[in-house]
Amino acid sequence: MDPKEKFREILREGALRFSAEELTLSIERPANPEHGDYASNIALQLSKRLRRNPRQIAEEIAKASAPALAATGLFEPLTVAGAGFLNIRVKPEAKLEVIRQVLEQGKDYGRVKTEKEESIQIEFVSANPTGPLHVGHGRGAAYGDSLAKLLEFAGARVTREFYVNDAGRQMDILALSVWLRYLQMRNMDVPFPEEGYRGDYVRDIAARLADENLARKADFSGALPDADAEIDRLIDLAKRTLGDGWKRVHRFALEAMLADQREDLAAFRVSFDQWSSEQALHDNGLIDKALRLLQARGHLFEQGGALWFRSSAFGDEKDRVVRRENGQYTYFASDIAYHLDKFERGFDRVIDVWGADHHGYVPRVKGALEAFGLDPGRLEIALVQFAVLYRNGEKLAMGKRSGEFVTLRELREEVGNDAARFFYVLRKSDQHLDFDLDLAKSESSDNPVYYVQYAHARVCSVFAQIEGWDFPKNLSLEPLKSDRELLLAQRLAEFPELILTAARERAPHSLAFYLRELAAEFHSYYNAERILVDDETLRSARLALSAAVRQTLANGLSLLGVSAPEKM
């Protein structure tokens, strides 16, 4: 029985005489522990409506609730404090029962069981396959995967999806870059455009191309002064020169980059249930279908030879082109079709994890869903700010075209998966993240992931000193009387609610904060008390408490994709 929810239930019953059913009955932990374990301001809320003294209302609620609270055996008597706050303490023996709950449920402690699973699709990372994943993609990967794990633990059925932008100009630029490097490796004098991809990975792909039919001479003269126009000219030249060979280069470059990204993500402990292709939307006629539906509903119009979506009618700042004058579809047209397809696959809710620089894209995509007659509230956009790396106090450079960027693989190799995963979720996703590489590699209490993992390893070190301890069903927890022991039990009891809140608010960072607090409480306890004391009853009770802390730390770390080592 959750004491907090039981307190809420009884308090609501006691307040119903004041028509409190319309009010949100919040139960919070007081900032000052001396005020109790839980507090409610329901009397202050009611006083505004009833125009009565809040303290008098609180006293009446306390009197009405007293018999039911006493009958539970969980609580000390309810008290009224200050202007009319209702404060209560949970009895020590009731607090300690969470230890049994944790040890009985094990890996499932904190997991929510629901009668109806909400079906949620999360699309995240979705990096253009034009280069290796960089540290910005890493933050989206850590956030999306942790959120997916949290939602599953909170009772949802989750599908993880990666959307491959394998159609359009950026892929053409990559294919051109690979082909030009391929020719250069065969000692052919060819120019390399300013807008081409210059990273070493392009040379690596070109070196593996191994198709002599692609080593064709072409007339590269006639360069244009405008960089964008020049690269379009070279793409057209490559297509004419290679014929069907262009498709081979294009496909080879795409498959090489996708293989690299899959391998990198798998090593980062991130996997996907589905990889969806933008090109498939074209090939399967889904873009045509989506635009026909919008046309039939009166949401498209022609102007200047292009086809436009009336996105301004749905809160966007202006209307948007979906088909250009040359007949080619825009990226937005692909996104419209892709999001329609998501909901036609039957998901109750869709969550897109986007870079924060895409915030202006939100109104038009939601507008398109509304234009289809769908509820735009079923689509959530989680914006992830960029991660900035610092080494020795200096900011590291980024830039994909130039090749001067730090890849996710390089970050993992330098600080390890655990530090990368934990540091990425230490801040709210929509807040800037300064990633201190030196701190992430340090073995000190200032390093949050080391601090949490060390708490887990400390418990393991205690159990390594004894033989075959099993949690006895009839274990007495009565010897656990110290303030530190009761505080640890209280922290353990907060875990299930924390899971629900973190899932509901799409906030893995709150789980990271919780784990740091739990680790801090255990380190304080470990340094102040001996666990392996001579008194067998006290020793068993302290071992049970320590084992419950270890299990909760392991469960939380697992949800963040971080390991729980037994030795450090």
46 vs 61: CA distance, rounded Å: 11
Q: Which token pair is 211?
A: 């198709």
**pTM of the shown model:** 0.91
What token pair was written down for 195? 């807008």
Inform me whether the pLDDT recorded for 204 exceeds 60. Answer: yes
> Buried (b) or exposed (e) across 304-327, using 16+ Cβ within 10 A?
eeebbbbbeebebeebbbbbeeee
Residue-wise burial string across 338-369, b where 16 or more C-beta atoms lie within 10 A, e elsewhere: bbbbbbeeebebbbbbbbeeeeebbbbbbbbb
AA letter at 329: Y
DSSP state of 224: -
pLDDT in tens, 479-517: 999 999 999 999 999 999 999 999 999 999 999 999 999
Q: Give the whole-number percent of the chain exceeding pLDDT 90.
A: 74
Mean pLDDT of the chain: 92
Which domains, ranges and CATH numbers included, belong to the chain? 3-90 (3.30.1360.70), 97-115+443-559 (1.10.730.10), 124-271+385-441 (3.40.50.620), 284-383 (no CATH)
Joined tokens for residue 458: 């400390």
The C-alpha angle 471, 418, 518, rounded to 5 degrees, equals 45
| Per-residue confidence (pLDDT) for residue 544, from 0 to 100 | 96
- pLDDT, tens digit (0-9, with 9 covering 90-100), for 84-120: 888 988 898 989 999 999 999 999 999 998 778 899 9
Structure tokens at 213: 């039919």
pLDDT for 307 equals 97
Amino acid sitting at position 74: L
Express each pLDDT in 529-556 by its tens digit.
Answer: 999 999 999 999 999 999 999 999 999 9
Cα(37)–Cα(31) distance, rounded to whole angstroms?
10
- DSSP, residue by residue, 343-375: HHTT-SEEEEEEEGGGGGGHHHHHHHHHHTT--
417-460 tens-digit pLDDT: 999 999 999 999 999 999 999 999 999 999 999 999 999 999 99
Report residue 1's pLDDT band, with 50, 70 and 90 as the boundaries: low
pLDDT of 20 reads: 66
Cβ atoms of residues 435 and 425 within 8 Å: no
Answer whether 255's CB lies under 8 Å from 221's CB.
Answer: no
Q: Give the CA count within 13 Å in the CB-facing half-sphere of 553.
A: 31
Non-local (6+) Cβ contacts of 176 within 8 A are 193, 196, 231, 234, 235, 238
According to the model, what pLDDT value does residue 402 have? 45
End-to-end CA, the chain: 36
Give the Å distances, CA to CA, from 86 to 38, 71, 76, 376.
Answer: 8, 18, 12, 40
Instruction: Return the DSSP state at 465.
Output: T
